[in-house]
Amino acid sequence: MNVENEKCVIVIDEHLPLGIIANTAAILGITMGMKMPNVVGNDVLDLEGNPHMGIIQFPVPILKGNTEILNALRTKLFEPQFAELTVVDFSDLAQGCKTYDEFTNKMENTSEVKLNYIGIAICGNKKQINKLTGNMPLLK
């Protein structure tokens, strides 16, 4: 990933309880990390020589969204012009499942238009991501 020309952002529904926001960010980050392992830096040592695992090599802003913004953003991300972006979404359907089997079974029987997204992570071309999310404030 070319840090100068590429970017990652996470957009999360600001109206969720803090625990669900944290869980959503963790799930999106873990999944995105699996899709982009090359963005994690090498492990490092502190002054005493204790090892610390490498972390992502650039900031990932978490932006403020809501149900309408997230659903519109996800719909836009299905357009062919955004096909090169890496997109991870997390919906209320997924959040409500206790097992991955339950999630896959429910997803197979649910139309995309019935999903309510609670978080979306996007990585790729900086200009495209800025076009999609550049006016969104940080989630604080």
Distance CA(71)–CA(78), nearest Å, equals 11
Q: Which residues, in sequence order, are bridge partners of residue 12?
A: 64, 119
Global pTM reads 0.92
19-76 residue pLDDT tens: 999 999 999 999 999 998 888 899 999 999 999 999 988 889 999 999 999 999 999 9
Query: Helices in 53-123 by DSSP H: which ranges?
Result: 67-77, 92-95, 100-108
* Class (C level, CATH) for 6-39+52-133: alpha beta
Residue 1: the pLDDT is 64
Residue 39: the pLDDT is 86
Residue 95: the pLDDT is 95
Collapse the DSSP code of 131 into the 3-class scheme (helix H, G, I; strand E, B; otherwise coil) and give the result.
helix
Q: How far is CA 63 from CA 8, 28, 104, 119, in A?
A: 11, 13, 27, 10
2 pLDDT higher than 80: no
139 pLDDT higher than 70: yes
Residue 83: the pLDDT is 96
63-119 residue pLDDT tens: 999 999 999 999 999 999 999 999 999 999 999 999 999 999 999 999 999 999 999
Q: In the numeric block, which tokens belong to residue 66?
A: 């809501």
